[in-house]
Amino acid sequence: MSETFGQVLTAARRRAGLSQRELAARILKEDGDAISPQYLNDLERDRRNPPAQHFLKQLAHALDLPEEYLAFVAGQLPEDLRSGSFAPEQVQAAFHAFRRTLRG
């Protein structure tokens, strides 16, 4: 069974030695205010959908995780892939390569 976004977030925060309050203070909304510890708690308990790319990027930095990994466990494509224009064959080939890599 694969880990949920919340489980990954919780484990990474604990490895970093941060409380929810400390991590929340490092993650800023577009208006410059920090997210609330309650919002972070809801994310960790999978009570909310994974956040937008803006937050994923900050969480990855604060927790020393690759942005692509957080996007993957959040079920999202990285921003640069969402905004591109790709032929169906390119997308199919990319997913085949991705699956081969993960399956080893």
Q: Which residues, in sequence order, are bridge partners of residue 86?
A: none
- Six-digit token string for 21: 């309050």
In CATH, 5-103 is 1.10.260.40: yes
Instruction: Report how far residue 40's alpha carbon sits from residue 34's, in angstroms, rounded to the nearest whole number.
Output: 11
What are the residue ranges spanned by the domains of the chain? 5-103
Structure confidence at residue 78 as a pLDDT band (50, 70, 90): confident
Structure confidence at residue 1 as a pLDDT band (50, 70, 90): low
Question: Tens of pLDDT along 7-62?
Answer: 999 999 999 999 999 999 999 999 999 999 999 999 999 999 999 999 999 999 99
- Six-digit token string for 22: 């400390």
Q: Which residues, in sequence order, are bridge partners of residue 28?
A: 34
Structure confidence at residue 103 as a pLDDT band (50, 70, 90): very high
